[in-house]
Structure 1
């Protein structure tokens, strides 16, 4: 992906703090490597570049929502891993206030992506481009819009359903319920699923061996997750099955291949595009992996989580890394192993096949298909080198086994553990073991003070 193809739209995303931050972007001359908005949909090439700018904007700088920040904060707030840096203590000790560090970014960055997506959808609708091109690019924008709304509503519950790029309108919208957001997301994803290519595309709509632009199965994978969170078990099962049955995606036996740019398990990945820090593969790797092989780590897996690994679990051996200092031996997350290195070998993996098996297992369990659920869980356990669960487990035992597998399999990935414990009402029971006095109130993440000031109709998360 060449920087010269990226439009001015993407520039607004890196530093967005409010929805209004892109309001006057047309008042300045565009840099030489970008084009003005009125020309963005004049031909296929520039329209495509506008969409590619979405992905660049999600992952071009460190400490953004889409470039490790969400993962770092929610891993600390749950029982995945915590940072030794005090700037994350509010999340580690679940003392998150409306003035907490980084909190505004969990809101403003996704809404920046949504604003970008809305501009694309509106621009394409008004353009005279080929209908097939319009459908493809609009579907990609709808996917990112839905992806962003999914995280916003699960972080803050009631959030404005912004479907226009008009800033004056957007900044006066009141919150929608989670049910309303989910309904919109499902409809948007179903439309995107119908319109988007089943093949992975590169530039100029050509086929690509990389999986950095979402395809039909990426949309389906996100849709299956939304169905799961909605407790629409039947649709969650059938949609996950559609992805699982696609032979392009596999559960590789070698755990060290899962997060490579060539991963057979990856359904959708983000490619880091950055020219200021040489050799960055993923921002998660850059943040967590020490600068030298002998240096200490600064991100530690919570001890109760370490204790939950069974003997011979390959995930502990391959996805965690021990280091020893004066106070003892600690384990840091090590799914991404490259701090900096060229050529690039790792991409940020957002959606992967293992989650689809775990989604289907939960959906089947909640439909009374306990044995089928155990079969899906065992696909993940077998890859981890563990003894397979017997088919004689009760539904209650299977539910606990599934909770554990989701934790250890998806540890440190996109806030899965935090959202899982919150949506299943298991946060207090589980996190009290790790955190001590963890209460139901601690499951609510507040909206940042600066965000509330930007729109009088917003309501603080209870």
Structure 2
């Protein structure tokens, strides 16, 4: 028992610091197999550190930041957003990913399941604790459920049917097989529905780096959109959009991705005095070693679209022009000051969610109101009028592509959920594209470790 408690103390110290790697985390000798003892959640500070440690890890190099192993980059390559300049990324660009691919196993899978494990342990600790104030307990329970929900949202959209782990008991988790997408989404909705009642309306810090009630509602609106529950997607997005004292679209596109932007619903604060991983990775100062934007996206923007000039930049080596995402404009800190935070959820997406949900319900005039707000902010001053449902949905898809490019795999997920992946990507990818590429392979290490987990179709 003493050894287990020592491991639990080590666990809390590790997650509080945020300085753990996936490999180290998975190699703890004595996995936690019982609810976290109440004494380890003896006060607000220790309990809070369990959650804030997750955010620090998310903001560092990995699946949730903007570096070469991130959802934004890998999904951008799998779709038509980014072009590969590195053999280490070609598998994603050519949709020929091997189950042994390290970026799949170490980052997209293991790292995300680590976040889920920590939230499960935190929820268990909060339930048994008597030393935490009620307001802190409610906030942390809401944040833990929010983090678990967003983690499963990305797992189910990257891999499809995956194990649904809701326990810290390794004897249960190591035997869990694939759960249906319906079951996983039901848990996501449950977690977010509970989170929106638990979380405070105001942010608990002066910055927007810990989720509040509106972040839970925003993510829930996205989930309802993916589930094609149009009325609920419209309702939840509207609840956030209506918080005009807290959130607003910014007229100046240069200010959207600044820390504490009025458009930010949830951001990740960079760690260790650096700027965002997106700014470091995407901004080209030499011939690209990893990715660039394919030039054929440029004609998709109208001539007056400010997003083309403000959010895309160019590096020339003297003979070839290379384009890159320029939403994050700072590569290194200036006098130690960090001016940009990684944007996870922002208001513009909510307008696009509501526009799509309204259009799907035949409310095209209302959908156009939302679309015209996005277009006007982009410098497209002529409002759209009189579009039918099909035309309206086509414009939604266009604006999602141009507004959300290089952010969090939106394009890749949109192509899949609207069943356009094959028609759009097969002509671009050529004979390497096949329908089964819409899901990434379950990591080979996971298949070997847990024989109850089955591989996705199309992968040996």
CA deviation string 1:115-167 (max 9, x = no partner): 01001000000000232221111110110000000100111110111111111
Contact 1:7–1:53, Cα closer than 8 Å, also in 2: no
Q: Secondary structure, in 3 states, of the residue corresponding to 1:330?
A: strand
In structure 2, C-alpha distance between the alignment counterparts of 1:228 and 1:382, rounded to whole Å: 24
Q: Deviations over 1:359-383 (max 9, x none)?
A: 0011111111111111111111111
The residue number in structure 1 matching 2:87 is 86
CA contact (8 A) 1:220 1:240 kept: yes
Contact 2:31 2:170 in 1 (8 A): no
Of the candidates 272, 280, 286, which is equivalent to residue 270 of structure 2?
272
Structure 1 equivalent of residue 40 of structure 2 = 40
Structure 2 residue 124 is the aligned partner of structure 1 residue 116: no
User: Residues 117 and 142 of structure 1 are in contact (CA less than 8 Å); yes or no, is this contact kept in structure 2?
Assistant: yes
8 Å CA contact 1:87–1:101 kept in 2: the answer is no
Provide closer, same or farther for how the CA distance between residues 334 and 422 of structure 1 changes in structure 2, counting only shifts above 3 A.
same
> 1:281-328 deviations in whole A, cap 9, x for unaligned?
1111112224x5xx3444311233222111121111011101112552
Deviates more, 1:65-74 or 1:217-226: 65-74
1:27-106, aligned counterparts within 5 Å?
39-60=39-60, 62-68=61-67, 69-104=70-105, 105-106=107-108
1:171 lines up with 2:174 in the alignment: yes
Partner of 1:24: 30
Contact 2:287–2:322 under 8 Å retained in 1: no
Mapped partners of 2:142, 2:29: distance in 1: 24
- 1:265–1:182 Cα change, 3 Å: same
Question: Secondary structure of 1:392's partner?
Answer: coil
Q: Give the length in aligned residue pairs.
A: 434
Q: How does 1:242-261 map to 2 (within 5 A)?
A: 242-247=239-244, 248-261=246-259
Structure 2 unaligned segments of length 5 or more: list them.
1-11
Residue 4 of structure 2 corresponds to which residue in structure 1?
A: none
1:156 has 2:159 as partner: yes
| Deviation of the 1:57 alpha carbon | 2.0
Shift of 1:434: 3.1
1:395 paired to 2:389: yes
Other-structure match for 1:205: none
Partner residue in 1 for 2:324:
332
* Contact 2:39 2:129 (C-alpha < 8 Å) held by counterparts: no
Aligned to 1:460: 455
Conserved 8 A contact 1:374-1:391 = yes
Equivalents in 2 of 1:158, 1:453: separation in Å?
17
The equivalent of 2:21 in structure 1 is 15
The alpha carbon displacement at 1:448 in A equals 1.5
Matched, 1:344 2:348: no
Q: Distance in 2 between matches of 1:110 and 1:238?
A: 29
- C-alpha separation in 2, matches of 1:397 and 1:313: 20
Q: 1:186 aligns with which of 186, 189, 204?
A: 189
In structure 2, how many angstroms separate the alpha carbons of the residues matched to 1:246 and 1:40? 37
Question: 1:324, 1:182 → 2: CA distance?
Answer: 45
Does 2:295 match 1:303? Answer: yes
1:102 is paired with a residue of what secondary structure? helix
Query: Which structure 1 segments of 5+ residues have no match?
Result: 1-5, 27-35, 203-207
